[in-house]
Amino acid sequence: MRWRIGFACSTCFTLLSAALPAAAQSKVEIGGLLDGGIYRGFEGTARLGTIQRSNLAIAGREDLGCGLQATFRLSARFDVDSGRMEDQGSKPFWHDESTVGLQGSFGHLRLGRALSAMWSQDWKFDPWANFNRIASPAWYQWHGLTPTDRYSNNGAAEYGRMANGIFYDSPSVAGFALHLSASPQRSQAPGSPRREGRGYSASLNYDSASLSGMLAFERNGSGDKDTFAAAKYRFGAAALMAAWDYTRVAESALSARAVTLGASYQMGSTTLKAGYGRQRLQQQSNHFYSVGADYALSKRSTLYASLGRKSYAHGADSGTAFGVGMAHAF
């Protein structure tokens, strides 16, 4: 694979003629995750399918010299039980990410569709990485009222990913890193002549050997706002984490506050997990409890079991879910 844009090391940022082929090395990788299991959903229905997310990704980078690299990433999500694309018909093919970027000592700048600054970092503070439909408190109680974009999935809401976006990840300085994302395009509902605002997101993160922290804010193009704060402490084989999330809808008085707690403990190839969440939605309190265990067959293959309980003020949303599955990263 060749890129036809290069940089002269003598001037570092002088653009060379596009007609000259780049003499730099390039690298392309294919990877992803396959996940499948048997589980009973919160509604009481037995299912075979994806408990976590399955995806296929193609990513690459080229050394441009002077410490610069050109990057790209294409990632699609699918249901391993049927082979169909996730939410086929509503989400784009490259739902997970489609970006091209430039990386150097200044950080990493990307253009395209990807997780917003807040969503790209918050998963670190949930024992299941906001990734397990049975056991993850984050899945059900974070960011519930404020989708990153209300219309970008062919008119449906998108929770997490910003389309038509600019993304920046700073280098780490004394453990601190800044993550920013924004769209220059105004949000617009299908069929509506009215254009709304522009969405943006920011996250400040701190990471050390034992302590991690995060403070983030996101506003979508419709004016809905989300404030998020979290911390994680690691000691030996154990980790404790806590998160606070406050979401509010722009055109109504509707808001929600959520507090989640989590813990994990590793014993050889087995990792035990536990989680709790309490969401205050207007005057209603919703509770979530979960436990689980992962067993690493290898660095890439994992067997896991998950149990979750929703105890919601609206009884129809309550229930218990449990299941077992296998995930293989490649």
Q: pLDDT (tens digit, 9 = 90+) per residue, 146-169? A: 999 999 998 899 999 999 999 999
pLDDT of residue 191: 81
Q: In this structure, are residues 136 and 264 in contact, taking their beta carbons and an 8 Å threshold?
A: no
Q: Is residue 119 exposed (0-12), middle (13-18) or buried (19+ Cβ within 10 Å)?
A: buried
Closest CA to 187 of 147, 227, 144: 147
CA pair distance 154, 213, nearest whole angstrom: 35
Helix (H, G, I), strand (E, B) or coil at 324: strand
* Residue recorded with tokens 């000592």: 105
Q: What is the predicted pLDDT for the residue at 23?
A: 47
Which domains occur in the chain, in start order? 26-329 (2.40.160.10)
Q: What is the rounded distance in angstroms from the CA atom of residue 328 to the CA atom of residue 50?
A: 12
- Per-position pLDDT tens, the chain of length 330: 334 333 344 444 444 344 344 445 899 999 999 999 999 999 999 999 999 999 999 999 999 999 999 999 999 999 999 999 988 778 999 999 999 999 999 999 999 999 999 999 999 999 999 999 999 999 999 998 999 999 999 889 999 999 999 999 999 999 999 999 999 999 988 888 888 999 999 999 999 999 999 999 999 999 999 999 999 999 999 999 999 999 999 988 899 999 999 999 999 999 999 999 999 998 889 999 999 999 999 999 999 999 999 999 877 789 999 999 999 999
What confidence score (pLDDT) does residue 24 get?
58
**Coil, helix or strand at residue 300:** coil
Give the distance between the most distant pair of CA atoms in the chain.
68
Q: CA 308 to CA 133: how far, in whole Å?
A: 9
Which phi-psi region, left, alpha or beta, contains residue 83 (left: φ > 0; alpha: ψ -120 to 50)?
left
Residues 256, 140: contact at Cβ < 8 Å? no
Q: Which residues have C-beta within 8 Å of that of residue 23, sequence separation ≥ 6? A: 6
**Predicted local distance difference test score (pLDDT) of residue 255:** 95
Cα 280 to Cα 103, 260, 275: the distances in Å are 41, 12, 17
pTM of the model: 0.89
Distance CA 104, CA 66 (A): 9
Cβ-in-10-Å burial (0-12, 13-18, 19+) of 178 comes to middle
Question: Rounded to the nearest 5°, which phi and psi values hold at 37?
Answer: -165, 180
Strand-pair partners of 74: 58, 98
Quick check: 55 and 62 in contact, CB under 8 A? no
Which residue type, as a one-letter code, is found at position 63? D
Which sign, positive or negative, has the C-alpha torsion 111, 113, 116, 117?
Answer: negative
pLDDT value, residue 19: 37
Tokens of 140: 């059900």
